[in-house]
Chains A and B, each alone.
Chain A
Amino acid sequence: MMNVRKIIELEYFKFRHYRPFLVILGLYVFCFVLAGFSIKSLLDWFLEQQKDDDVLKHFISTGLPIFDFVDIWQNLAWLATIFKWIPAFVIIISVTLEYSQKTIKQNIIDGLSKKEFLASKVALVGVISIGSALLLLFLGLFLGLLYSPVKGLSYILQNIEFVAAYGLEVFVFLCMALFAAFAIQRSGVTIILFLLYTACIEPITTAILHFHYKWEVWYFPVEAINLIIRVPFQKYALSFVHDQIILRDVLVAFGWAGIFIGLSYWILKRRDL
Chain B
Amino acid sequence: MSETILQTEQLSKRFSRRILAVDDMNLLIPRGQVFGLLGPNGSGKTTTLGMILGVVSKTKGSYSWFEKGEDYTLRKKIGAILEQPNFYPFLSAKQNLMVHSRIKDIRKPDTDGLLKMVGLYERADDPFKTYSLGMKQRLAIASAMLADPEVLIFDEPTNGLDPQGIAEIRQLILHIRDMDKTIIMASHLLDEVQKVCSHFAVLRKGKKIYSGSVKEALQSTNTIAVSADDNTLLRQVLASCPGVLSTELESEVTRVHIADDWTSATLNKYLMDRNVPVNYIQLRKSSLEEKFLEILKESERTSSPSPSQPAS
Contact = CB atoms under 8 A, between A and B. Distances in A.
A17 B99 contact: no
B88 A14 contact: yes
A9 interface: yes
Interface stretch (B51-59, B260-268, B270-278): B51-59
A246 to B, nearest CB: 42
A109 interface: yes
Contacts of A112: 72, 103
Nearest to A115: B72
A102 B84 CA distance: 9
A109 B75 contact: yes
Contacts of A109: 53-55, 75, 78, 80-82
A18 interface: yes
Nearest to B146: A110
A48 to B, nearest CB: 48
A156 B104 CA distance: 47
Interface in B41-97: 50, 53-57, 72-78, 80-82, 84, 86-91, 95
Interface string A105-117: 1111111110000
Contact of B82 (A101, A103, A105, A111): A105
B86 A111 contact: no
Contacts of B105: 6
A24 interface: no
Contacts of A18: 88, 90-91
A105 B55 contact: yes
A27 interface: no
Given A6-B102, A272-B56, A17 B73 contact: no
Contact of B102 (A10, A102, A106): A10
B92 to A, nearest CB: 8
B202 interface: no
A93 to B, nearest CB: 12
Contacts of A113: 72
B80 to A, nearest CB: 5
Nearest to A105: B55
A273 interface: yes
A21 to B, nearest CB: 9
A28 to B, nearest CB: 20
B181 interface: no
B55 A273 contact: yes
A216 B286 CA distance: 79
Given A102-B84, A110-B100, A111-B104, A272 B95 contact: no
Contacts of A9: 102
Contacts of B73: 111
Contacts of B75: 108-111
A240 interface: no
A108 B54 contact: yes
Interface string A75-118: 00000000000000000000000000111011111111100000
A211 interface: no
A213 interface: no
A95 B99 CA distance: 16
Interface residues of B, number: 32
B98 interface: yes
B104 A110 contact: yes
B87 A17 contact: no
Contact of A272 (B57, B86, B99): B57
B99 A14 contact: yes
A13 B56 contact: no
A9 to B, nearest CB: 6
Contacts of A13: 95, 98-99, 102
Contacts of B57: 272
A212 interface: no
Contacts of B99: 10, 13-14
Nearest to A7: B102
Given A112-B103, A113-B72, A105 B86 contact: yes
Which of B57, B72, B84: most chain A CB closer than 10 A? B72
Nearest to B79: A110
A99 to B, nearest CB: 11
Contacts of A272: 50, 55-57
Contacts of B55: 105, 108-109, 272-273
A19 interface: yes
Contacts of A273: 55-56
Interface in A1-43: 6, 9-10, 13-14, 17-19
A17 B84 CA distance: 23
B81 to A, nearest CB: 8
Nearest to B76: A111
A110 B75 CA distance: 6
Closest 3 CB pairs of A and B: A111-B76, A111-B75, A102-B86
10 contacts: A9-B102, A13-B95, A18-B90, A101-B86, A105-B55, A109-B55, A109-B81, A110-B75, A110-B143, A111-B73
Given A103-B88, A111-B77, 11 more contacts: A10-B99, A14-B88, A14-B91, A101-B86, A108-B54, A109-B75, A110-B103, A110-B143, A111-B72, A111-B74, A111-B76
